[in-house]
Amino acid sequence: MTNSVLKLPEEALKRLIAHYQNKEITTKNPHARFAAKLPDAMITVYSSGKVMFQGAGAERETAKWGVANSAKEKAATAKGDRLPPDFAKRSVLGSDETGTGDFFGPITVAACFVPAQQVELAKELGVKDSKQLTDDYMRKIAPDLKAAFTHSVVALNNEKYNQVQAQGWSQGKIKALLHNQALKHVLRKMAPEKPEAILIDQFAERNIYYKHIAKEPEIIRVNVLVSPK
């Protein structure tokens, strides 16, 4: 049986409960505040704010509310590539995504190339871990970053997400396709120059990532590192 767990804020929990209200069932679990049963999935909301999805349809239902934190996913994500000691001094093309957390959609992937000789410029323009920056500050420095560095941004809006999700696409597959597409765009823009390395902020194990995009006509593989955090 597939299991996954999400930790959601109260407003999101209320929306989730309302969404499954017509599928509610009685539960004897003293720690559960709500439970619902679908033909292929069981959803349990706990007093702690965690939501457990179980069954064959668990991944599909989880994807409607955020990023799964299943034990399988945690184990897979932990196996990232080890970065070389001098990695911060190299010319690197990197990609990351947003739009899959508490505020869902559109799913957006940005890829950006920073040449070794411009790493200091990126720092001077204010680049650092986004968790250390405010939204207003990021909006302020964004125009300078876009002007200074070769980049690409691709997004999947909520309507299109619902369409492909109904076709059986997992959130992991969607993100993998968007990362590959954004990286391709940047490589074409910067040609014939090539990065010393390509870094994908890890959301799945390497073999799973490439399995998701196996049918793509062009797959970025050379000098790719997949690493978390």
Structural domain range at position 222: 87-227
Kindly tell me the burial class for residue 208, based on how many C-beta atoms sit within 10 Å of its own C-beta (0-12, 13-18, 19 or more).
middle
Which of 38, 69, 100 corresponds to the end of one domain? 69
**Among 13-22, 33-42, 136-145, 162-171, where is mean pLDDT lowest?**
162-171
- Give the span between the Cα atoms of 81 and 78, in whole angstroms: 9
Residue type, 136: D
> Quick check: is 74 in a domain?
no
> Do 57 and 125 have their domain in common?
no
Residues 93, 7, single domain; the answer is no
- Residue 56 and residue 169 in one domain: no
Q: Positive or negative, the Cα torsion across 121, 126, 132, 138? A: negative
CATH, residue 117: 3.30.420.10
Range name among 97-106, 145-154, 167-176 with the lowest pLDDT average: 97-106
Last residue of one domain, picked from the residues 69, 96, 117: 69
- Could you tell me if 178 and 107 are in contact, meaning their C-beta atoms sit under 8 angstroms apart? yes
Same domain for 152 and 98? yes
Read off the pLDDT of each residue in 43-62 and give the average, rounded to a whole number: 89
Would you state the pLDDT for residue 78?
53
Give the per-residue pLDDT at 77. Answer: 46
Comparing CA positions, the residue from 200, 212, 208 lying closest to residue 95 is: 200
